[in-house]
Structure 1
Amino acid sequence: MKIAVVAANGKAGQLIVKEAVDRGLDVTAVVRGENKTVAENVLVKDLFDLTAADLAGFDVVVDAFGAWTPETLPQHTTSLMHLADILSGTDTRLLVVGGAGSLFLDATHTAQVQDLESFPEVFKPLANAMGNQLVELRKRDDVNWTYVSPAADFQAEGERKGEYVLAGEEYTADANGVSALSYADYAVAMVDLAVNGGHVRERISVRY
């Protein structure tokens, strides 16, 4: 299995690369500059400059792109649509590192986590931007995409337990009402999805 991880130098990207390499998969890290991952195969190229030829032959492409400043937040959508365009009509699966703010609160799908009064104001622009990319992705029936939302408490430095729970579009929590997950175990889930397939054109979620 050949996997490309786009924006591999980010926190999530590096851990997804490591998880895949540790399992013996053929992994290519796609980075803009110096490779900070453990991957031996590296493609140094800006995401927006990637072509269909660059990603030809990969079974799975993982989009780990993230933007944080007000001027770059719209790139969550534009970068994802660029990847969708160059993968359009191929068998390659596109797995997207998504956000938790767009998870629905119940089965009516009328309200989202980011609509809660308790949702931190500082994260709302990011949640909005990542929610918008999902809206646009849902319109693509020409790409084998899967959008993977993490838990509400997404822990960058959390330990790797090697366990997780896959859920659907609605926000869920454990028996104690906690929705948490480490980046490392998100990487475990992402590589499992890459290997096992399924959930094509679906948004799913991952938590402990």
Structure 2
Amino acid sequence: MVRIVVFGAGGKAGRAVVAEAAGRGHEVVAVVRDTARYADLAGSGVAVVAGDVTDRSQVAALVKGAGAVVNAVAPGPGDAPGTFFTAAANALVDAIAGAGGGRLVAIGLSACLDAAPGVRVLDTPGFPAQFQDFARAHAAALDVLWQAPATVEWSVVVPAMEFDPQGERTGTYRAGDTGLLTDADGVSRISYRDFAIAVLDEAEQGAHPRTHFAVAY
């Protein structure tokens, strides 16, 4: 059992990660901006605490002594995605490095995977223009991790293009590499609950150090 700090614990992915981590017997710190709004997260092995992932002093205090840190954050109504994701990544990297190092597992975006060797999904001609800014903000946060000190054992787990919040926990998934991962029918899909399994496996084992990798059925 280790102490796992989950930033963005109130979102769909964050909730799935918290549930999976608690189910494995870990001590979970669920970080949200408004504890009153997410009081239902609290339970056996789960403490809900207030924190802003872009506030470096708060992040440093929260990650101290953690066995692993999970970044499942998403921008809120008052956040600008173009700066939010990089601010969060910088705060987490600085805090973990300042604590002497540790494991950071972030949730990525399928648009940042390769559709073909050297060509990201977001750079393909058919990628929707309305999602470009959001995708490039994610890509910029990934660039922050590429430049992180060696003491920060980071990895980014990237969900499939069809990220199903209602899907069951089957207990199965496939882990790929930096390329988009699809099944025999060309479908890229994973449920939140099975994705959370992949996130916790990475938090526990660190099998994909200093890279991002696709997860799908």
TM-score (norm 1): 0.91
For residues 94-142 of structure 1, give each alpha carbon's deviation from its aligned partner in whole angstroms, at most 9, with x where no partner exists.
00011110101233x1x11112333333322211111111122111134
Distance 2:125 2:174 in 1: 26
Distance 1:163 1:152 in 2: 17
For residues 6-47 of structure 1, give each alpha carbon's deviation from its aligned partner in whole angstroms, at most 9, with x where no partner exists.
111111101100111111111111111123424431221222
Distance 2:28 2:79 in 1: 31
Q: 1:91 aligns with which of 98, 101, 105?
A: 101
Could you list the runs of 4 or more consecutive aligned residues of structure 1 that deviate by over 4 angstroms after TM superposition? 68-71
Q: Which residue of 1 aligns with 2:48?
A: 42
Q: 1:115 aligns with which of 110, 119, 123?
A: 123
Amino acid at match of 1:126: F
Aligned length: 206
Distance 2:207 2:121 in 1: 25
Tell which deviates more after alignment, 136-145 or 117-126: 117-126
Distance 2:84 2:125 in 1: 26
For residues 64-115 of structure 1, give each alpha carbon's deviation from its aligned partner in whole angstroms, at most 9, with x where no partner exists.
11127695102011111111111115332000011110101233x1x11112
Q: Which residue of 1 aligns with 2:203?
A: 194
Distance 2:180 2:54 in 1: 32
Amino acid at match of 1:122: Q
Would the aligned equivalents of 2:59 and 2:91 in 1 still touch at CA under 8 Å? no
- Structure 2: which 5+ residue stretches go unaligned? none
SS in structure 2 of the partner of residue 5 of structure 1? strand
Q: Which residue of 2 aligns with 1:126?
A: 134
Distance 2:130 2:164 in 1: 17
Q: What are the equivalent positions in structure 2 for 1:93-172 lying under 5 Å apart? A: 93-107=103-117, 109=118, 111-142=119-150, 143-172=152-181
SS in structure 1 of the partner of residue 49 of structure 2? strand
Amino acid at match of 2:198: A
C-alpha distance 176-70 of structure 1, shift in aligned 2 (>3 A): farther
Would the aligned equivalents of 1:19 and 1:191 in 2 still touch at CA under 8 Å? yes
Distance 1:57 1:75 in 2: 25
Distance 1:94 1:81 in 2: 12
SS in structure 2 of the partner of residue 48 of structure 1? coil
Q: Which residue of 1 aligns with 2:10?
A: 9
Tell which deviates more after alignment, 56-65 or 114-123: 114-123
Distance 1:6 1:88 in 2: 17
Would the aligned equivalents of 1:4 and 1:27 in 2 still touch at CA under 8 Å? yes
Would the aligned equivalents of 1:94 and 1:146 in 2 still touch at CA under 8 Å? yes
Tell which deviates more after alignment, 33-42 or 134-143: 33-42
- Root mean square deviation of aligned Cα: 1.9
- Structure 1: which 5+ residue stretches go unaligned? none
Q: What are the equivalent positions in structure 2 for 1:62-73 lying under 5 Å apart? A: 62-67=70-75, 72-73=80-81
What is the percent sequence identity of the aligned residues? 34
